[in-house]
Amino acid sequence: MVMDAGTALAGKSVVVTGAGRGIGREVALELGQRGARVVVNDVGAAINGTGTDSTPADEVVAEIRAAGGDAVANHDSVAEWASASRIIGTAMDAFGCIDGVVNNAGILRDKFFFNMDPDDWKAVIDVHLNGSFFVSRAAAPQFRAQGSGAYVHLVSTSGLIGNLGQANYGAAKLGIAAMSKCIAMDMARYGVRSNCVSPFANSRMIGSIKAGDAEAQARLAKLQAMEPAKIAPMVAYLVSDLAAAVTGQIFAVRANEIFLMSQSRPLRSMHEATGWTVETIADRAMPAMSQNFYPLDRSQDVFTWDPV
């Protein structure tokens, strides 16, 4: 008999960071609907990381409870070890266990690299990369002790592929993907899984696009179909026992599409028995390898077709 999603998630204690709005909110609601007990973490900051507001997390908790689920709010920051540890502590205090961690919290401070202030670099790294490590590390002792657990880290094609004006964000997200793979390897002996999801979802940026002719309007409608709620089933699946054999992978979700993303492997090799010099590298190695060079692609240059 194949396990259903309700059985695979029922009673699990799952922390979702940045769960007050957007994708995190939809993930928390999906998990709650499927019987998981959810810690809804959100500091309620603006998109650039400034300010705090307990309302978003509290409202998601109220929505889960109103639908018959079980949830508690946490308003701690992921960006510091002590406060990130309190997020996991909230799950242990409320539910007595921790079964899953969804690292979703994030901020944006986009600027071209040559204009990027060191504070903008550090703030984004602190929330995304350090925050994902802190929350994941805080859960690790319990995962090891019980011999089970699932991490799901939200990454981005800004890191996996590249994007303009996002050196901080892209570096953090690619760092998270590398961290996830290493977690999967380190924790495999304890029955713990770690995977990444790179989401495409409707945002305020897409909402600001002004459609002109009929063709542009049709494309905008397809872009707007990338609802945050469409990301949630994949995340919930990876947390659930249905994904017991899935670890160390990177998935992308765009509207109704799921992609398994590649991971870095050698493309071509060159051998020189006597060793390379600057001149022979220029004369032989680079001309042979250049046909496989990656161009300066952005996400939209790789995903050239409309979402379906």
Catalytic residues: 169
Q: Give the integer Cα–Cα distance in Å for 99 and 108.
A: 29
As to burial, measured by CB atoms within 10 angstroms (0-12 exposed, 13-18 middle, 19+ buried), residue 305 is exposed
**What 3-state DSSP class applies to 16?**
strand
Q: Give the integer Cα–Cα distance in Å for 46 and 216.
A: 30
Q: Give the integer Cα–Cα distance in Å for 210 and 116.
A: 28
Integer CA distances (angstroms), 127 to 83, 108, 130, 220, 306, in order? 12, 10, 6, 31, 31
Q: CA torsion, points 156, 160, 165, 166, in degrees to nearest 10?
A: 50
